[in-house]
Chain A
Amino acid sequence: RKEVEQDPGPFNVPEGATVAFNCTYSNSASQSFFWYRQDCRKEPKLLMSVYSSGNEDGRFTAQLNRASQYISLLIRDSKLSDSATYLCVVNRVDSSYKLIFGSGTRLLVRP
């Protein structure tokens, strides 16, 4: 079983739709969680950190469910510019330096 698992997609949604991605992690002791965004042929960039209480940044909401060991990303009112791959990232508990990346969920927003 992979340490961090994501549905690869693609999720194909119309502009204005709400879309949600989940990501599951295997180590219950993981402490730090992040969502990164990667545009086609570009480097990953931090989208948001995921806190225990959940957090919101404009149209984006991230949630952590420790009991079920998953994190989620909700995008409301999708824009064409949201089309990208979204990477789930979890820290490895035996070393705070080691972040484990999921293989990503691809989102396509169509006009």
Chain B
Amino acid sequence: DVKVTQSSRYLVKRTGEKVFLECVQDMDHENMFWYRQDPGLGLRLIYFSYDVKMKEKGDIPEGYSVSREKKERFSLILESASTNQTSMYLCASSLESTGELFFGEGSRLTVL
């Protein structure tokens, strides 16, 4: 079974703090994604990566950056957390560009 593991299930941070969300997949997938999920808005794509050191902006990249130094690991960085970044963050991976997405369990971030 594909496993996508997110480092933290729940985080509470203060405004202005730097936040790292880590994601690791164990199936040698090329593509990795970061989404946020908010009530009524569905999942929105923040960034995705189709290869090591390659990244592309999704629909809502502002306030976020990403890092993919190894194929299995994709990190989401909030340089200076703000209250409007309180959300559920979901990491996903896929083998092919239009293939099935495998999600991690999510990281619920609260910014106070």
Q: Which residues of A contact B (CB under 8 A)?
A: 4, 8, 31-32, 36, 42-46, 87, 91, 95-99, 101-104
Contacts and interface: CB of A to CB of B under 8 A. Distances in A.
Interface residues of B, number: 22
Contacts of A46: 100-101
A75 B103 CA distance: 24
Closest 10 CB pairs of A and B: A43-B103, A103-B42, A101-B43, A96-B97, A101-B42, A46-B100, A32-B98, A96-B98, A97-B97, A43-B105
A103 B35 CA distance: 13
A12 B37 CA distance: 24
Given A32-B98, A97-B50, A98-B58, A104 B42 contact: yes
Contacts of B56: 95, 97
